[in-house]
């Protein structure tokens, strides 16, 4: 059993794009689990673009204090248990962050059901397609977007886990789906998932490129990016169109908000724009997860993971999200 653990902490608050020096890898002592506690060894942890706002304190969630462990989801194995609900060897998920091991009293820790997680539904999907990214796509698209057969859905950061899942669900609803992504490789990937069209936004006149791919206009814009992409989408929205604000990755590192300019379109085109905090749907998570698990087992929903090796690379894996490095859900394999 380990007597020490490694963890990444916030060393300084990023200004602009995060850099390696904003993070510090530390070794800490790990006591034996106390009464009711379990010791978990991390197998994988996620890195999430939404974490960026918490690093500088600009989020709906509290700012991460300096010196605190960087938050994320993890899949791990129970190594030792003094808690009757868990046994050594259990595969679990929890929110312990960028750590090699965690001690827990079991609150917020969920055992993975082996009858669900087998075949194409790998344990890592619990923190991806069935985790916060997949649930964001599910509730954002279905509850806020309200897609109807024949409608056109435009999705930014389409090759990320949120965008790729939202696009596939929109296809299941009979929509025409167009993705925007940062490379031809990513565009090929989303076309392979069934998207009807995709284009690389680099060097594109965004408003014109959207018009070319959505000649009849956009009914639902599922926005993961914000800034200029949101403005360009606004110019292409159909009357009574809906904009789902899932993420604003192009705003996260901006010193000043970039914002939108074409606000008049909301009046002329009777548009609605609504933001989403996926945790608001917490009570509905099990139902959505059961449905998405079935889709994955039936082959109707696919997901891709982008896995880097070793806890020492966690900060770089996170920073790379803002360079467009990841295709699919970015995870770090810790052990």
Ligand X SMILES: NC(=O)c1ccc[n+]([C@@H]2O[C@H](COP(=O)([O-])OP(=O)(O)OC[C@H]3O[C@@H](n4cnc5c(N)ncnc54)[C@H](OP(=O)(O)O)[C@@H]3O)[C@@H](O)[C@H]2O)c1
Please give the C-alpha separations between residue 26 and each of 5, 95, 98, in angstroms, as whole numbers: 8, 18, 11
Rounded-to-integer distance, Cα 199 and Cα 156, Å: 10
Site string for ligand X, 292-331 (x = CB under 6 A): -----------------------------xx-x-x-----
Please give the C-alpha separations between residue 78 and each of 59, 229, 263, in angstroms, as whole numbers: 32, 44, 51
Coil, strand or helix at 200: strand
Smallest gap from Cβ 64 to ligand X, in A, equals: 15
Q: Is position 73 an interface residue for ligand X (rule: CB under 6 A)?
A: no
Of residues 152 and 157, the one with the C-beta less far from ligand X: 157
Of residues 96 and 139, the one with the C-beta less far from ligand X: 139
- The correct pick among 33, 106, 131, 161 for binding ligand X (CB under 6 A) is 161
List binders of ligand X among 236-295 (CB under 6 A).
246-247, 249-250, 276-278
Nearest C-alpha neighbor of 330 from the set 52, 128, 97, 93: 128
Q: Are 305 and 165 in contact (CB under 8 A)?
A: no
Alpha helix stretches (DSSP H) within 8-76: 51-56
Residue nearest to ligand X (CB): 247
Smallest gap from Cβ 249 to ligand X, in A, equals: 4
Q: Is position 206 an interface residue for ligand X (rule: CB under 6 A)?
A: no
Of residues 73 and 78, the one with the C-beta less far from ligand X: 73
| Stretch of residues binding ligand X (CB under 6 A), selected from 152-160, 255-263, 282-290, 294-302 | 152-160
Q: Is position 132 an interface residue for ligand X (rule: CB under 6 A)?
A: yes
Site string for ligand X, 76-115 (x = CB under 6 A): ----------------------------------------
The distance of Cα 210 from the centroid of its chain, to the nearest Å, equals: 24
Nearest C-alpha neighbor of 131 from the set 324, 313, 331, 318: 331
- The correct pick among 6, 54, 171, 186 for binding ligand X (CB under 6 A) is 186
Per-residue DSSP letter, 62? P
Coil, strand or helix at 90: coil
Q: Are 190 and 164 in contact (CB under 8 A)?
A: yes
* 166 Cβ contact partners less than 8 Å away, ≥ 6 residues apart: 137, 140, 141, 153, 155, 222, 246
Which residues are near ligand X by CB under 6 A? 48-50, 132-133, 136, 157, 159-163, 181-183, 186, 224-225, 246-247, 249-250, 276-278, 321-322, 324, 326
């Amino acid at each position: 059993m380990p007597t020490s653990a490694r963890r990444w902490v916030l060393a300084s608050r990023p200004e602009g794009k995060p850099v390696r020096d904003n993070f510090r890898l530390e070794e800490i002592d790990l006591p034996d689990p106390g009464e009711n506690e379990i010791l978990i060894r991390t197998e994988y942890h996620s890195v999430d673009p939404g974490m960026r706002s918490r690093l500088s304190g600009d989020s709906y969630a509290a700012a991460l204090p300096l010196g605190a462990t960087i938050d994320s989801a993890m899949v791990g194995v129970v190594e030792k248990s003094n808690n009757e609900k868990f046994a050594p060897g259990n595969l679990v998920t929890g929110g312990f962050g960028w750590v090699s091991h965690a001690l827990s009293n079991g609150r917020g820790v969920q055992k993975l059901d082996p009858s669900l997680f087998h075949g194409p539904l790998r344990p890592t999907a619990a923190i991806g397609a069935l985790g916060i990214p997949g649930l964001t796509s599910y509730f954002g698209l279905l509850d806020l977007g309200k897609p109807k057969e024949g409608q056109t859905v435009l999705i930014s950061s389409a090759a990320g886990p949120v965008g790729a899942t939202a696009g596939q669900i929109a296809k299941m609803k009979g929509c025409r789906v167009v993705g925007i992504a940062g490379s031809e490789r990513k565009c090929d990937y989303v076309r392979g998932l069934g998207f009807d069209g995709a284009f690389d936004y680099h060097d594109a006149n965004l408003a014109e490129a959207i018009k070319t791919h959505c000649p009849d206009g956009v009914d639902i814009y599922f926005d993961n990016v914000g800034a200029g992409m949101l403005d360009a989408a606004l110019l292409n929205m159909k009357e009574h169109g809906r904009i789902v604000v899932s993420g604003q990755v192009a705003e996260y590192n901006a010193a000043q908000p970039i914002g939108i300019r074409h606000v008049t379109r909301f009046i002329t085109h009777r548009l609605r724009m609504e933001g989403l905090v996926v945790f608001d749907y917490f009570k509905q998570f099990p139902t959505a997860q059961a449905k998405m698990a079935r889709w994955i087992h039936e082959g109707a929903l696919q997901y891709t993971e982008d896995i880097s090796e070793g806890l020492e690379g966690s900060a770089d894996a996170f920073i790379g999200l803002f360079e467009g490095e990841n295709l699919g859900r970015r995870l770090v394999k810790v052990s």
